[in-house]
Amino acid sequence: AQSVTQLDSHVSVSEGTPVLLRCNYSSSYSPSLFWYVQHPNKGLQLLLKYTSAATLVKGINGFEAEFKKSETSFHLTKPSAHMSDAAEYFCVVSDQAKGGKLIFGQGTELSVKP
């Protein structure tokens, strides 16, 4: 069975400092992995996706993630946090055995201090 674990329920950074949101996955297949962002009372917006092409994936708003098979990780990073980055972030894996059903991590709340 496929799963994802987000290692931190809450991360707090200062504006202008780097962001690291951690995600580990478990998959029997070569996984398809995604990061989504959710602002309060909004739907989810796709930040980036990994689909077995380049291991370093660049997304929107300056975010990127690196797929590391040896560590079964797909951590999300950004060099410099902005106040508008404060939101909930979800790491997601696509369960190919179940027709692409998405399996969500528990979410990480990112706070950005001025």
Partner 1 sequence: GAVVSQHPSWVICKSGTSVKIECRSLDFQATTMFWYRQFPKQSLMLMATSNEGSKATYEQGVEKDKFLINHASLTLSTLTVTSAHPEDSSFYICSARDPRETVANSPLHFGNGTRLTVT
Q: Which of 68, 82, 101, 113 binds partner 1 (CB under 8 A)?
A: 101
Say whether residue 89 binds partner 1 (CB under 8 A). no
Rank residues 19 and 31 by Cβ distance to partner 1 and give the closer one: 31
**Coil vs helix vs strand at 104:** strand
Rg from Cα positions in the chain? 13
**Coil vs helix vs strand at 61:** helix
Say whether residue 2 binds partner 1 (CB under 8 A). no
Say whether residue 78 binds partner 1 (CB under 8 A). no
Spatial CB neighbours of 43, under 8 Å, sequence gap ≥ 6: none
Segment near partner 1 (CB under 8 A); pick from 14-22, 62-70, 77-85, 93-101: 93-101
Q: Report which residue type is found at 61.
A: N
Helix (H) or strand (E) segment spanning residue 63: none
Give contact residues for partner 1 (rule: CB under 8 A): 32, 34, 36, 41-46, 49, 51-52, 90, 94, 96, 99-102, 104-107, 109
